[in-house]
Structure 1
Amino acid sequence: MRIPRRTSAVLAATVLASLAAAPIAQAEPQEHHRLPGQRVGYFTQWGIYSGFSAKKVQTSGQASRLTVLNYAFGNVSADGTCFEANAAGVGDAWADFQRPVSAEESVDGVADTAAQPLKGNFNQLRKLKAANPQLKAVISLGGWSWSKYFSDAAANDASRKKFVSSCIELYLKGDLPQLGGAVEGGAGAGAGVFDGVDIDWEYPGGGGDAGNVVRPEDGRNYTLLMQEFRRQLDALGRQQHKHLLLTDAVPSGEGKQQQLEVRKVARSVDWMNLMTYDFHGSWEAQGPTDHNANLYSDPADAAPDNKGYSVDRVVQDYLDRGVPASRLVLGVPFYGYGWTGVPAGAKSGLYQPATGLAQGGNLPYNQIKDLPGTVVYDREHGASWKYDGSNFWSFDTPQLLARKAEYARCNGLAGVMAWALDNDDAQGSLVKALDKGLRED
């Protein structure tokens, strides 16, 4: 086997140093089977409206191959707290814990009753964990659309304590609101669903969605916020005699990385989920066509922005900034970006101009795989795409995902993370590929 490593000697030294470092507290050993490496999959709150459910995580085989399910997303209010609501673009308590789930859709084949205080996705996550003892569930806060008020929540010691306490009360202790006097919710109704918190602040210091609150001191406040989460989660964990997870999603872009005190943050988290994707995509509608998430840099890259960017380069950036390899989880996309009106050029449409976007410019793997065209696998640079003579799609095939997971394992990283599970096919082919790559040959 050829180890998929093309990082510098600095990477090798950093890996060895990280393995020698004292480990952080880990979750109690699981009975039943132990899976090598962390396998984090994002489950989207809104997936139910397009037919995806926790039951499909089970029947596809995804659940048995994952260690952590990140539930996306929880919102941050204007007053700096975690909350539940039913309002378009603000919150979906109906999907979270109010929606009755039928026997046909339920993980265990048992329908929700009218009187039970916990329904919806949260109850299905609890059932999913019961069926898969190695699996933990984590509430992810923020994301692209719901990071607007993170800066306010993190602004000072009092606001940080208030914010963290509200999130723990709502999601970890499970004190869900009874909105409009509904039967769902109540003190402890959601207890046992979540085993930790994932922070998806996009992004401290700016570069996120329009309208986000931004402060120059966001980077420092982010460090302090993560420290406060660690303190309060550890205090609750001691009461519950378990380790509660704290993770975060961190950016690929060098400018956004530099806004964070990543070495200090790494001391508070169990691991960082690297968003090692979206190097190029639909925002570059006229091309040149390029890779969403290539493993290695290509000197021939024709991009005017993010030229020569790669997964390996992002990993090296974090290692160079002092984050141990054992605290990094490699992010992979279960979706791709597409262009149309693309000439073949010398490399089956790669690095070519386009007349526009193909089918909106973004599709899940489970649709791209069935589109016409020839799949090209560039082993040298760890990239794959599909080209039909006009349409070009940059996406990760199962072959490439297995190699990325192997890269994570061989370079001493903590594991892999996928956005998002509903983009996989009904057989869970992409999660199976990641599982394959994380196992020793």
Structure 2
Amino acid sequence: MQDLIRRTAAALAAACMAALLLGTPTGAEQRTYQAGGEVVGYYAGWAAYQGYTPDQLPAEHLTQINYAFARIDPDTLTIALENPAHDKKNLAALRKLRQQNGHLKLLISVGGWSDSQYFSDAAATAARREAFAASCVDFVVAQGLDGVDLDWEYPVSGGAPGTIHRPADKQNFTKLLQELRTQLDRQGRRDGKDYSLTIAGAAGSWYLNQIEAVKVADIVDHIFLMGYDLHGPWDTSADFNAPLYTPSGASPQGKSSIADSVQAYLDKGIPAEKLVLGMPLYGYAYQGVSSQNNGLYSTYTSAKSVSYRMLKKNYLSNAAYRQYRHQEAQVPYLYGSRTFISYDDAESLAAKAALARSQGLGGIGFWELSQDDGGELTAAASSAFRSTWGNPFRDVAPGAWYEEAVRYVYEAGLMQGTTGTTFSPGRTSNRGQIAAILHRLEGSPRAGTPPFTDVAAGSYCADAVAWAEKNNIVRGFEDGTFRPEGRITRQQLAAILFRYLEHWGADTAGRADLSRFSDTAAVADYAREAMAWAVSAGLLRGRSDGTLDPAGSATRAQTAVILQRLGALLEEA
């Protein structure tokens, strides 16, 4: 038992001090059901011209890749490639990627914003529908693909200038899909293979009113809900591209959100498992905005789309732009140089993936994969969607660096939320909490009355503080107080852990030279030896600006990481 306690103490020290190095992002939504479902990514053929070839795709995070786009030949009303040589080269590379990742499905996506002009013509008669479907099936077989994705933008009305529309598109869209389904299934029986049929649908009730939504959902494997472009350069005012929730503030234009769009599909009677929530890997930059409200809802002089790749390169590390996060909309934005930039990051996409989980949706997806060439957004959202625990905390973002740690401490009963639905990861941990955590790890022994004037006998941390003081692990202040609600600093925590290890006879011999840190003089005398030990052991490092920051705080998220790492280290011991 004594040996286990010693190992526990040493592990806790390493975990605590390492946790001080972490940051504290925020955000979130509840997730409730088991891992699974689709993770779909569109890969645009033109991305290869820009150097992002299929072999660079984050296949490990995807279940389906839609190659965008094939078009409809206006003369034959059958499927055709924009650039046959280039597209077939890309498709060959995608097949090679699938060989290396057997779980992947490859679909050809037909249409898109620029190539939906002739869908109405192709769907107008039974003969045309049959010919179009046959051409798609032949193409899929010839190219060794797994199905077809239709991105008709849009039946009945809308879409790019020049797009042909008919009132009968609403019914003809259903008939076109049914013909495709019939022919794909027929081919599948020949091949002994299940071919997929999916569509992309706009975010909004207006789109649902232009299709036979329930009939369509019954035919297709899933509907990729295009959860983006709720606002953009077509608006009169700068706004969020894809807010997760609708902000409450006044706006000069109509407001909506991704959550509203998902609910509209569900309210229409579309089964949740047939929906794949699409997410943007790009944002919009509005130039010439006013400084009021950091540019949000301002008029602007020009606007453009900006990929996440370019955001990282030109904006996120640019001191001229300040980063903000809209707490209601749960999306980030930038403001600087009279420019407002709406975009999504790992945290906001993870929150959207959490919404998909909480609603029981069939998957998540992305437009377009080359815009996140490092794959960090794709990975964050995929990880969040596939997480399996029932997270009760709205403010613990799925995919956040501390999420698994919060799960660990919550399920182990070591830490609870600050309310039933919040964990407050960014809130500073206090001195009483740290004493209580160490006390629980010791089995919560009774230790009498704490000797401090501000720790009442009935306090939650009374036994913990009494035990820790008795064993010279914590000390009070000159005025006889312990200040249990006072924030715990880096140097205080180093000192507490240093004494804790000494109490159990652990090795604390190492001492580092702290003079290399510019603020070494700020280290209190009582903590200097403990800080030198922590730095020597590699447990405490300086900040990026060359400071040691001895008075810096430790948060609840970092405290959760302390306990999780303790558990992992004990398993290895």
Assess same fold via TM > 0.5.
Answer: yes
Q: 1:2, CA displacement in angstroms?
A: 9.4
The 3-state SS of whatever aligns with 2:159 is coil
- Residue of structure 2 equivalent to 1:363: 306
Is the contact between residue 275 and residue 330 of structure 1 (CA under 8 Å) also seen in structure 2?
yes
Q: Which runs of 5+ in 1 are unaligned?
A: 7-14, 20-33, 86-90, 98-119, 175-189
The 3-state SS of whatever aligns with 2:73 is coil
CA distance in 1, matches of 2:147, 2:184: 8
CA distance in 1, matches of 2:369, 2:322: 25
Q: Which of the two has greater helix per residue?
A: 2
Matches within 5 A, 1:417-436: 417-426=365-374, 428-436=375-383
In structure 1, what residue type is equivalent to 2:308? Y
The 3-state SS of whatever aligns with 1:41 is strand
CA distance in 2, matches of 1:127, 1:375: 40
Q: 1:257, CA displacement in angstroms?
A: 2.2
Match of 2:152 among 185, 188, 201: 201
1:315 aligns with 2:340: no
TM-score computed with the length of structure 2 as normaliser = 0.60
TM-score computed with the length of structure 1 as normaliser = 0.77
Is the contact between residue 309 and residue 372 of structure 2 (CA under 8 Å) also seen in structure 1?
yes
Q: 1:78, CA displacement in angstroms?
A: 1.5
Q: 1:80, CA displacement in angstroms?
A: 4.6
- Residue of structure 2 equivalent to 1:413: 361
Deviates more, 1:394-403 or 1:382-391: 382-391
Matches within 5 A, 1:136-175: 136-170=105-139, 172-174=140-142
Which string of whole-angstrom CA distances, capped at 9 and with x for unpartnered residues, describes residues 348-367 of structure 1? Answer: 3222222333xxx1111011
| Cα 1:423–1:356 shift into 2, 3 Å | same
| Cα 1:173–1:215 shift into 2, 3 Å | same
Is the contact between residue 337 and residue 395 of structure 1 (CA under 8 Å) also seen in structure 2?
yes
Match of 2:164 among 175, 195, 213: 213
Match of 2:68 among 63, 72, 78: 72
Q: 1:238, CA displacement in angstroms?
A: 1.5
Which string of whole-angstrom CA distances, capped at 9 and with x for unpartnered residues, describes residues 58-90 of structure 1? Answer: xxxx111100000001111124543445xxxxx
The 3-state SS of whatever aligns with 1:267 is helix
CA distance in 1, matches of 2:348, 2:27: 15
Matches within 5 A, 1:73-152: 73-84=69-80, 91-97=82-88, 120-152=89-121
Matches within 5 A, 1:371-390: 371=315, 372=318, 373-390=321-338
| Cα 1:302–1:411 shift into 2, 3 Å | same
Is the contact between residue 334 and residue 418 of structure 1 (CA under 8 Å) also seen in structure 2?
yes
In structure 1, what residue type is equivalent to 2:42? Y
Match of 1:300 among 249, 269, 276: 249
Q: Which runs of 5+ in 2 are unaligned?
A: 1-25, 390-573
Deviates more, 1:321-330 or 1:250-259: 250-259
CA distance in 1, matches of 2:232, 2:27: 30
CA distance in 1, matches of 2:250, 2:49: 38
Q: 1:317, CA displacement in angstroms?
A: 0.9
Is the contact between residue 27 and residue 347 of structure 2 (CA under 8 Å) also seen in structure 1?
no
Which string of whole-angstrom CA distances, capped at 9 and with x for unpartnered residues, describes residues 113-159 of structure 1? Answer: xxxxxxx1111011000011111100000001111111111112111
The 3-state SS of whatever aligns with 1:137 is strand
Q: 1:246, CA displacement in angstroms?
A: 0.6
Is the contact between residue 114 and residue 160 of structure 2 (CA under 8 Å) also seen in structure 1?
yes
Match of 1:350 among 296, 307, 313: 296
Which string of whole-angstrom CA distances, capped at 9 and with x for unpartnered residues, describes residues 15-72 of structure 1? Answer: 9xxx9xxxxxxxxxxxxxx972211000101111111101111xxxx11110000000
1:403 aligns with 2:351: yes
Is the contact between residue 35 and residue 65 of structure 1 (CA under 8 Å) also seen in structure 2?
no
Match of 1:282 among 212, 229, 233: 233
| Cα 1:292–1:301 shift into 2, 3 Å | farther
- Residue of structure 1 equivalent to 2:49: 49
- Residue of structure 1 equivalent to 2:280: 333
Is the contact between residue 155 and residue 211 of structure 2 (CA under 8 Å) also seen in structure 1?
yes
Match of 1:248 among 199, 204, 217: 199
In structure 2, what residue type is equivalent to 1:36? G
Which string of whole-angstrom CA distances, capped at 9 and with x for unpartnered residues, describes residues 206-257 of structure 1? Answer: 2011111111100100011111111111111122222111100011233232
In structure 1, what residue type is equivalent to 2:244? L
CA distance in 2, matches of 1:269, 1:336: 29
Is the contact between residue 290 and residue 303 of structure 1 (CA under 8 Å) also seen in structure 2?
no
Is the contact between residue 81 and residue 167 of structure 1 (CA under 8 Å) also seen in structure 2?
no
Q: Which of the two has greater strand per residue?
A: 1
CA distance in 1, matches of 2:308, 2:61: 19
- Residue of structure 2 equivalent to 1:270: 221
Is the contact between residue 294 and residue 310 of structure 1 (CA under 8 Å) also seen in structure 2?
yes
1:260 aligns with 2:211: yes
CA distance in 2, matches of 1:363, 1:402: 20
The 3-state SS of whatever aligns with 1:213 is coil
The 3-state SS of whatever aligns with 2:295 is coil
- Residue of structure 2 equivalent to 1:100: none
Which string of whole-angstrom CA distances, capped at 9 and with x for unpartnered residues, describes residues 397-440 of structure 1? Answer: 111011111110111001111000000033x1011111121122
CA distance in 1, matches of 2:218, 2:273: 11
Is the contact between residue 39 and residue 67 of structure 1 (CA under 8 Å) also seen in structure 2?
yes
The 3-state SS of whatever aligns with 1:369 is helix
CA distance in 2, matches of 1:366, 1:146: 25
Q: 1:303, CA displacement in angstroms?
A: 3.7
CA distance in 2, matches of 1:211, 1:145: 10
CA distance in 2, matches of 1:254, 1:320: 10
CA distance in 2, matches of 1:157, 1:44: 31
CA distance in 2, matches of 1:196, 1:252: 23
CA distance in 2, matches of 1:337, 1:321: 30
In structure 1, what residue type is equivalent to 2:124? A
Identity %: 39
